Amino acid sequence: MSSNPSSRRRSSLLAVLAGGALAVTLLQPSSPAAGDDPLPYQDPSLPTAQRVDDLLGRMTLAEKIGQMTQAERIDVDADPSLITTNALGSVLSGGGSVPTPNTPAAWADMVDRYQQAALATRLGIPLIYGVDSVHGHGNLQGATVFPHNIGLGATRDPKLVEKIGHITAEETRASGPQWAFAPCICVARDDRWGRTYESFGESPALVRSMETVIDGLQGKKGQLDHADRVLASAKHFAGDGLTAYDEAAAGTGAYPIDQGIDKVSRKQFKKLALAPYVPAVKEHRVGSVMPSFSSVDWTDDGLGNPVKMHANKQLITGWLKNQQHFKGFVISDWRAIRQLPGDYRAQVKASVLAGVDMFMEPIQAPNNPSGWDEFIPTLTDLVGDGEVPVSRIDDAVARILKAKFDLGLFEHPLTDRTHIGDIGSKAHRAVARQAVAESQVLLRNKQRTLPLKPKNKVYVAGSNADNIGNQTAGWTLTWQGGSTNVVPGRTILDGIEKAAKGDVTYSEKATARIPRKAVGVVVVGETPYAEGFGDVGGPQWAYDPGDAGVPRQKQTMEISTADKQAIRTVCARTTSCTVLVVSGRPLIVPPGLLRQIDALVASWLPGSEGGGVADVLYGRSPFVGKLPVTWPRTIAQEPINVGDKKYDPLYSYGFGLSTR
C-alpha cells in the first residue's frame, strides 16, 4: 500500500448521500424480525456462493457501491454514523493512523465501534478493516516486529516465513483488523528503489518460495474464519519492482523510480512481474490483490504508450481474473486512481472497467478535498448513465462479500480477543529473534574473526548500534518510520551487552577511548524511509511529524561520512573489526574501507529483536543467510542482477559464508 498518513484530523466530513431517495433505499428494513427464520444469506449452513447470491439479490445499487468503498479511519472516527449512512464496506488505517492510546485493546474497541455502525445498516453487512501488517502489525505499539522481507528472503526458510505470517495474522486479528495489505511479492531489480526492502529478493524463484507467508496469514483452505487468521493481499500487481530509474527526476523533488514505468518486453514482464502471482493465486489462494501505482510499456510493441496498472484491463481482468481464475477481489492503492488520465469521472470509469473491485479513497486530511465522498456519487452516476454496467458492479460486490463470508464476519463480526494477550509475547519474539539470526549474511570473515569469543572486551560504535527506530525502519508506528520511534525490544547493542562476558564500551562516533586488546563492532547503515522518499536521488523530506521534526537524510546507498570515520577509527585500534550493515538494500563499501574490515555482515532491517544479531556474532547460532539481491561494487552498476551478461558484483546473488 501507499499511505500518506497525515495525523491532522479533518474537522468535519460531509454526510454524503444522507438524504432523499438514496437514504430511503439504504435504510428500508427487510431483515427478519426476532424469532423469524434467518434469511438465506444469514444461514451459515448454506454454501458461501448461495449466501452471496441471496444477499446480492437483496441489495440496492447504493448498498452495492458502498461495499466497493473504503474510507480511512480518520474520515469516520469522529462520526461513525457515516459508515451506516453510506453503507461503507471497508475502513483502513494508513501508516501511523492509530487510536489513542495505541494499545491492542484500544485498537479492538475502535474496530468494533466502526463495526457496530456497519451492522446498523439495513442488511447488517459487516465491515472489513485493513492495515499494513507488512513485517508484523507494525502500526500497533507492542506488536512483534519482524525483519522486513529482504531479510526474510535471506533466510531461504519458507517454513519460518509461514510461521511469521501466522503470528502476524494472530496479532493483527486479535486487535481488530481482519485484513493485511501484505505480502509484497514484487521482484526488486534496482536497489535504488526505496521499496527494495519490501521485496524478498531479485529472483522470481526466491519470491515464489517465500509466498508461504500467505498460508501463514490466511491459513490453509477453510481457516479464514479462525481468530488467528486474516485475509492477505498480494501486491503490487504487477511490476512495481521493474520500474526504470529516471535520471531526470533525481534531485528534483520527484521520485526517480517509485511509481514509474516498466519498459520491458512481454517476455520479461511475464518472467519477472507476473510469475509470482501464479502460485499466489493458484496454490496459496490469496484473497485480495492490490494493483501497483506503476505503468507498463511493452518495448516489443514499440507503441510507447504506458498504461497505468489501475486501468490495465488486459492484466487485471484478462490475465489475473480470467486466465489465472483469481476468485478474490482487487483493492486499489491509496488514492491511486487519481493518477489516471482525465477527470475524476474518467478515472473511476477506467479503473472499475479494468477490474478494480474496491476503492481505497481516503479523505483524511484538509489537503485532500474529497475522497470516498466523491467516489460514491461518481460511480452511481456512471451506472445510471449506462457507462458502467450493473454486471460489473455485481461481480465486484460478489467478490467482496465472498471474502466477508469466508472470514466469518457475518457470524462473528466483533473482535475475537482470545489471542490479545499473545501480542508481543515472549514466544512470538523468540520467532522474530530466530528470523533475525537466520537473515544475517556473512560477506567477509578474514582469519575467522567471527564468531567472537564472549570473554573478549568489545568496543561498539556506529549510528545503528543502539537505535531501535533504525532497526525497525519504515512501516513501523509511522508510514516512513523514524529514528526516534521506540518499540519494545532490543537494539543490537543490547544484544551484544547480554551475550558478552567481557567489558562492553559503546561510543556512537568512536570518540571514547578504545581499551587495549578489545575487539571492535561497528554498526552502520541507513536511516528509516519508505516509498518515494527512500528512492536514491529522491526528495528529502524536510519535516516529518512522525519523526519528531527531525529532517530525513537523502538516500544515497553510501555509508555516511560519520560511519566511515567510525569504521576507520575502530578498525585501526582494535584486535579485530566487524562491520554490520543495517539497511534495506546493499550499501557501497569502498575498496579502501573494505580492506580495513575483518568481518562484514549484511544485517538488513532486523526489527525489534537485536539479540538475534548477537546470536550469530557470538556463535550461539550459525551464519546461514544468503544474499537475496546482488551486492554491487559501485552505485554505477545499478541495476545489477544475477544473470546479467556483464556481472561483476562485489558479492553475487546467493553468496553467504557459513559458520556451521
72 is catalytic: no
Q: Starting at the earlier edge strand, list the strands of the sheet with 307-308.
A: 261-264, 295-298, 307-308
- Smallest CA-to-CA distance from 165 within 227, 223, 232 is with 232
3-state secondary structure 452-485: CCCCCCEEEECCCCCCHHHHHCCCECECCCCCCC
Establish whether 531 is a catalytic residue: yes
318 CB contacts (<8 Å, ≥6 apart)? none
297-318 in b/e burial notation, b at 16+ Cβ within 10 A?
bbeeeeeeeebbbbbbbebbbe
CB within 8 Å of 573: residues ≥ 6 apart: 514, 520
The runs of H, that is alpha helices, within 3-47 are: 20-27
The catalytic position among 333, 357, 535, 638 is 333
CA angle 359, 475, 428 (to 5 degrees): 110
If 0-12 CB within 10 Å is exposed, 13-18 middle and 19+ buried, where does residue 92 land?
buried
Q: Look at residue 558 and give its three-state secondary structure.
A: strand
Q: What nine digits make up the cell of 35? A: 424469532
Cα torsion through 432, 613, 133, 210, rounded to 10: -80
In the 8-state DSSP scheme, what is residue 307? E
3-class DSSP assignment, residue 234: strand
Instruction: Count CA atoms closer than 13 A to 566's CA, side-chain side.
Output: 28
Closest by alpha carbon to 117, among 75, 82, 91, 71? 82
**DSSP β-ladder status, 307-308 and 295-298:** antiparallel
> Rounded to an integer, what distance in angstroms lies between the CA atom of residue 163 and that of residue 170?
11
Catalytic, out of 258, 531, 563, 598: 531
**Which residues are catalytically annotated?**
333, 531
